[in-house]
Amino acid sequence: MKILHISVSDKIGGAAIAASRLNTAMIMAGWNSKLLVLYKRSIDDNVVSVTKYKTKVLYYGIRAMNYLINKYVLKPVYIYSSALWGIRVCHRKELQEADVIYVHWINNDFLSVKELKRILCTNKKVIFFMHDMWTITGGCHYSFDCDKYKTKCRNCPHLRGHIIDMALYVFKKKYKFLTPYQNLFFVTPSTWLGDCVKQSALFGNKKIKVIPNIIDTHIFKSIDQEVARSLFGLPVEKKLILFGADAGTSNPYKGWSYLKEALIEVQIPDVEIVVFGNKLPKEEEKEIPYKVHSVGRLNDEYSLSLLYNAVDIFITPSLADNFPNTILEALACVTPVVAFNTGGIPDLVKHKLTGYLAEYKSSKSLAQGIEWILDHLTDDTFIDSMKEYTRIYLSEKNILGKHKVFIEEILSSNE
C-alpha cells in the first residue's frame, strides 16, 4: 500500500511539521509513504517538491492574485484563503501511484479547490487531515464566534463588504466541487474540530476519525532539568516560565495581551520568563515585572526538547487553536501547560492532570493557573499523572494503529 501526504511545506508552520512527522513515523514503521510539498526545507529523500521553473512562474502569478484579494477583501489581522487558484499536482507520479492520499494544509497559494476536485476524480481514497477550520468554511481558518459554516457561509465578519460575497462564492465552490465525492474522508487531531466537521453544512455526512498528531517521543522526552538549563545558560535556582512569540505580540490569535496581564498579576518570588521565537519588543518587556531571557528561534527538535525540559511551565494563551504542536512537545517532555479552554486544547491539557485549563479570555484565570502549577511542581501525584497520561495518549504505536485501522476501513468500504 502506497500513501502520499500533500502539504504546502515540510517545515514551515505547525501543520507542515505535523504532516512531516506523520510521514516520517509511517516510514519508520515500515510503511510506504511520501510527502509532496511546494516548499521543501529538509534533505529527506521521502519529501518531494513540486517546484520547477514553470511551476514557479505560475506560482508567483497566483500569489500576486491572492495578495490583491487579501489586501482589498480581507480585514486586517484575520487569516483567510480563497483557494481560487493553485498549482497542478494530479499528473505527478507520486499521486498516480498512491493508494491513499492525505491532504494536509494546502493553502498559501498551493492547491485550489478545483485541483482538490481533480484529486478526488482519480477515485483514490482521499483523507483530508484538517489542521484548522478552513475546509468547512467559506475561507476563514478559524470562525471564532461565527457559526455560519453550519448552514451557509455568507457575509463573513472577517471580510470587507463588497459587491461579490467572497465567502459565499468559495463556500458554494466547495459544495459543488467537493461534497459529491464518496471517496473523501476526514481526520482531525482534536475532538473539537471533529465536532465542527460533523456540524458543518459541507461535510457533516462524511466519515470522520479523531486521531491526535504524532510526535517523536525519542526526541521529546524528559531529561535532567539542570543539564538543560546549563546548556541554555539559564539560572538553575529560579522558577522559569516559557512562552513562544513566533507570531508576534500584535497577533490577536495568540492572546499576548491576556498573558501580559496575567504575568503582571502573578506575584511570586524567584520567577523569571523565557521566550523563544521572536524577541519581545522592548516596550513590552519593560511592562513585565520579571527578568526575561530570550533564546531566539530554535530550528531543530533536539534544541526545542532541551528548552521544554529547562523550564517549569509552558504557557500558550492562544484564542483559537486546533491541536498545537507546542503543547504536544511540552507534554512529551513532562512540562505542565497553562492554556485557555478553547478549541482542541482540552484534548491535550487535562485540568490539573497535565496542566491547567484557564477560563477563556481571563487573565486572572491564567494567573491562577500559573500559581497552581508552581505550587504543584513537587507534587508526585500530579507529576505521575502527567507521565501516565502522556505515555498512553502520545504513544506513536497507538496513534499509527488508529491510522492503520481507519485506512483499512476506508479501503474495504464500497464508498
What pLDDT digit, counting tens, does each position of 328-369 carry? 999 999 999 999 999 999 999 999 999 999 999 999 999 999
pLDDT for the residue 237: 95
Cell numbers placing 99: 493508494
**Residue 342 has which C-alpha cell?**
478553547
Q: For residue 219, is it within any domain?
A: no
Alpha-carbon gap, residue 318 to 337, rounded angstroms: 12
In this structure, are 195 and 264 located in the same domain? Answer: no
CA distance 66 to 373: 44
Judgement on whether residues 136 and 208 belong to the same structural domain of the protein: yes
Q: Rounded to whole angstroms, what are the CA distances from 362 to 258, 344, 357, 374? A: 7, 18, 11, 19
Question: Which residue in 86, 102, 93 sits closest to 184, CA to CA?
Answer: 102
The CATH number given to whatever domain includes residue 249 is: 3.40.50.2000
Report d(CA 106, CA 121) in Å as an integer: 18
State the residue for C-alpha cell 532539568: 225
The DSSP element (H or E) to which 338 belongs, if any, is: strand 337-340
- Beta carbons of 181 and 203 less than 8 angstroms apart: no
Same domain, 405 and 384: no
Q: How many domains does the chain have?
A: 2
Whether this model's pTM surpasses 0.85: yes
Q: Residues of the chain with pLDDT > 70: what percent? A: 90
Same domain assignment for residues 389 and 405: no
**Is residue 220, in this structure, part of any structural domain at all?**
no
Q: Is residue 351 assigned to a domain?
A: yes
Residue 402 lies in a domain: yes
User: Is 291 within 8 Å of 273 (Cβ atoms)?
Assistant: yes
Point out the residues of the chain with pLDDT beneath 70: 52-78, 161-163, 246-252, 414-415
Distance CA 320, CA 187 (A): 19
Sequence-ordered list of residues with C-beta below 8 angstroms from that of 356, at least 6 positions apart, any chain: 336, 337, 338, 339, 349, 368, 369, 370, 372, 373
Distance CA(89)–CA(213), nearest Å, equals 25
Q: Are strands 125-129 and 100-103 parallel, antiparallel or unpaired?
A: parallel
Residues 185 and 250 in one domain: no
303 CB-side CA count, 13 A? 9
Q: Quote the pLDDT of residue 240.
A: 97
206 shares its domain with 229: no
| Nearest CA-CA partner of 295 in 316, 317, 278 | 278
Check if the beta carbon of residue 7 is closer than 8 Å to that of residue 15.
yes
In degrees and rounded to multiples of 5, residue 56 shows phi and psi of: -60, -45
Residues 6+ away with beta carbon under 8 Å from 237: 270
Residue 328 lies in a domain: yes
The parent domain of residue 118 ranges over 2-214+396-412
The letter for the amino acid at 137 is T
Residues 367 and 287 placed together within one structural domain of the fold: yes
d(CA 314, CA 326): 9
Q: How far is CA 161 from CA 68, 73, 157, 167, 405, in A?
A: 15, 8, 9, 11, 46
What pLDDT does residue 303 have? 96
Whether residue 295 is found in the same domain as residue 185: no
From residue 142, alpha-carbon distances to 177, 194, 401 in Å are 22, 14, 29
Within-domain flag for 311: yes
Grid coordinates in use for 329?
512537545
The answer to whether residue 137 is domain-embedded is: yes
Q: How far apart are CA 196 and CA 209, in angstroms?
A: 12
- Domain match, 258 and 186 both: no
Establish if 249 belongs to a structural domain. Answer: yes
Task: Please enumerate in sequence order all residues whose Cβ is within 8 A of that of 259, keeping only pairs 6 or more positions apart, or say none.
Answer: 243, 315, 317, 363, 366
| Whether 134 and 239 share a structural domain | no
Distance CA 81, CA 108 (A): 7
Strand blocks (E) in 140-260? 184-188, 208-210, 239-244
Residues 200 and 56 in one domain: yes
59 & 185 share domain: yes
pLDDT of residue 75: 56
